[in-house]
Structure 1
Amino acid sequence: MRVGVVVSDRGDWTAEAIGSGLSRQGAKAEYLDFSELAALVGPDLRFRGEGRDLLGLSALIVRDLGRRGSSDVAFRFEALSALEGSGVRVVNPPSAIQRAANKFATSVALQRAGIPHPETLVTTSLSAAEEFVAQYGRAVYKPLFGFKGRGLLLLTAEDPSPLRGLIEKSGVVYLQEFIESTAPRPRDIRAFVVDGHVAGAIFRVAPAGSWISNLARGGAPERCPTTSEIEDLAVRAASAVGAVYCGVDLIETSSGLAVLEVNGTPSGWGLHQAWGIDVGELIAGAVLRLAGGSG
């Protein structure tokens, strides 16, 4: 069975772990960089990547799509949908990747599933944004399609001035009420879900003097026991966005856990550092089962 692994960085630990897991379970892993993707629309529909016929794949696992611009990203998503429609099992499904990548879509999915989630405002209106920050005193700005903690800003009622520039630049702002964690140090919880189960969880502890806990921004992974509350919320959040595998970020509050967001193309390195858990093996097994292989 041929299984593609879409990744822009061939040194990525998670992609390598998935590929190794596929090989150990009898499948042939083929790494693909979608910067080399080509679609030919004629009497037949054909897709090629780095000289390979993508329609000959049994499955395609997306670790990251890479990007050059908005048109490029739109093409890659449409290509995933077309491949899925042509019989290639795509994981995560294109709809799930899009829903998780768009924080507004994630918030709506979580709300409809009845999952605790910070009060959130998405708006093109400067006055509405200013009112929201004034109401909560502090609010977190997140790029609508942001990742790895890049571009996060903590806005205060005393100084909401960055809002004007953010709206002028992006046209829209995504704001969440700032929730003070009840933990002794600034941190959140990353639960890694694979095929309807939590493979493990970690605390992501912010570096000294920072409130941002993303590992890519200097956060440190520490072991977090998987409680029944973590299991319930993380699995429900994964189901809400339609993901086979994902990272679910939660925060500890005085009234229990709340889900901050869902990552549809997560790294498993932090979980491996803390627990030694190989999510690549688990993802490979889940995909092979879905594609009709052993797994």
Structure 2
Amino acid sequence: MIGTPGKWSTEALADALEKRTGFRQVIDMSQAVLDLEAGTLCCGDVDLCQLDGLILKKIAEDYSPDALDRLEMLRMAQFAGVRIFSPAVNVLRLMDRLACTMTLRSAAIPMPATTITESEHVAHETLDRYGAAVFKPLFSTKARGMLLLESGAEDASQQIAMFRKANPVMYIQKKLDLSGEDLGMVFLNGEYLCTYARVSQNDSWNTTIHSGGKYAPYDPAPELIELGRRAQAPFGLTFTTVDIALTADGPIVFEVSAFGGYSGAQKGCGIDAAALVVDHVLNEVSR
């Protein structure tokens, strides 16, 4: 499996694989070497092109354009006939926030009002129009690098300029009242597993665990489950989480996760997602 050695979710998947097969191999893609002439993709003495299958848990510690290159390298194993769960080309469509957003909007999934621009002037106009907005990097997870601004702030122009310096293409999303929680809806091979809530424990504007939020169980209505199902369907992922929030104007989707919330499924729903994913993968590769 491909992941980050030592990280809980990576090791949980590796443990589940070892328990069922007696084989354990965690691949760190930062150590991978692609030889196009030889047709190999090696990490140490393991050629990924010779394996029966790969579980893709994490391609890099942080989302970045470099992570996209690692996914492109991983396609060599796909060309060689190795089954990858989720397929590298499918995950490619999720790493960039804008690519994910465009796919969701093309599928008529309700999302917050969003503007994309490289113009600081347009960004300032957008902020005034939204009243409050979250400026989001195109490559980030757990709200890292995001900037919350309110219209009329004295230093808004300076903050926008600083954000644009690090993010030339600015992704600006209207801030909505989430009432202190949002939801993670979990799917395995397109089938609904469970939903957990991320509940804020402080005055942070976001509910991520990284910012102090806590997991809690949540029982969604059937129509909410159907929204989550429609949101994840275009991406064809083995395991994923759909981020959903309930607003005064109805539910909206923020994004679909490239790798899914294993910790949220366990701590919020009591479900061992790693075991379920491994069972699914082993069933698929043994056919």
Asked if TM exceeds 0.5, the reply is: yes
Looking at structure 1, the residues matched to 41 and 189 of structure 2 have their Cα atoms a distance apart, in angstroms, of 28
Aligned to 1:254: 248
- Relative to structure 1, is the Cα distance of residues 236 and 292 closer, same or farther in structure 2, using a 3 angstrom cutoff? farther
| Separation (CA, whole Å) in 2 of partners of 1:169 and 1:90 | 33
Q: CA deviation at 1:178?
A: 0.9
Matched, 1:195 2:189: yes
**Two-structure CA RMSD over aligned residues (Å):** 2.0
Which of 227, 232, 235 is matched with 1:233 structurally? 227
**Match of residue 33 from structure 2:** 38
Mean CA deviation greater in 266-275 or 121-130:
266-275
Q: Would the aligned equivalents of 2:184 and 2:264 in 1 still touch at CA under 8 Å?
A: no
Cα distance, 1:116 vs structure 2? 0.9
Greater shift, 13-22 or 263-272, is seen at 13-22
Shift of 1:61: 1.3
Query: Secondary structure of the residue that 2:25 maps to in structure 1?
Result: strand
CA distance in 1, matches of 2:242, 2:231: 7
Decide which of 103, 107, 122 is 2:101's aligned counterpart.
107
Q: Distance in 1 between matches of 2:63 and 2:91?
A: 17
SS in 1 for 2:108: coil
Structure 1: which 5+ residue stretches go unaligned?
A: none
**Matched residues, percent identical?**
27
Paired residue secondary structure (2:49): helix
| Inter-partner Cα distance in structure 2 for 1:30 and 1:231 | 35
Report the CA distance between 1:195 and its aligned residue.
0.8
Shift of 1:288: 2.6
CA distance in 2, matches of 1:70, 1:202: 27
Task: Write the mapping of 1:138-153 to structure 2, written as runs, cut at 5 A.
Answer: 138-153=132-147
Moved more, 187-196 or 63-72: 63-72
Rounded Cα–Cα distance in structure 1 between residues aligned with 2:39 and 2:15 = 31
- Are the aligned partners of 1:103 and 1:144 in contact in 2 as well (CA < 8 Å)? yes
Shift in Å at residue 67 of structure 1? 5.6
Work out the number of aligned pairs and report it: 284
Q: Distance in 1 between matches of 2:24 and 2:220?
A: 31
In structure 2, give the amino acid aligned to 1:62. L
1:70-109 to 2 correspondences below 5 Å? 72-109=66-103
* Structure with the higher fraction of residues in strand conformation: 1
Provide the secondary structure at the position in 2 that maps to 1:127: helix
Does residue 163 (structure 1) correspond to residue 170 (structure 2)? The answer is no
1:114-125 matches, within 5 Å, as 114-125=108-119
TM-score (norm 2): 0.91
What SS does the corresponding residue of 2:124 show, helix, strand or coil?
A: helix
* 1:173 maps onto 2:173 in alignment: no
Q: How many Å apart are 1:207 and its aligned residue?
A: 2.5
Q: Which residue of 1 aligns with 2:17?
A: 22
Query: In the alignment, is the contact (CA less than 8 A) between 2:245 and 2:251 conserved in 1?
Result: yes
In 2: Cα distance, 1:289 partner to 1:176 partner: 41
Tell me what 2:282 maps to.
288
On the 8 A contact 1:188/1:204 being kept in 2, the answer is yes
2-structure distance, mates of 1:59, 1:238: 23
**Match for 2:170: what amino acid?**
V
Which segments of 5 or more consecutive residues in structure 2 lack a partner in the other structure?
Answer: none
Structure 1 71/178 Cα, relative in aligned 2: closer, same or farther at 3 Å?
Answer: closer
Distance 1:205 1:156, change over 3 A: same
Q: How far has the Cα of 1:18 moved from its partner?
A: 2.0
Q: TM-score, normalised by structure 1?
A: 0.89
* Structure 1 stretch displaced more, 46-55 or 62-71: 62-71
2:22 & 2:224 partners in 1: Cα distance?
32
Letter in 2 for 1:7: G
CA contact (8 A) 1:187 1:203 kept: yes
Determine which structure has greater relative contact order: mean sequence separation of CA pairs < 8 Å that are 6+ residues apart, divided by chain length: 1
What is the CA-CA distance between 1:285 and the residue it aligns to? Answer: 2.4
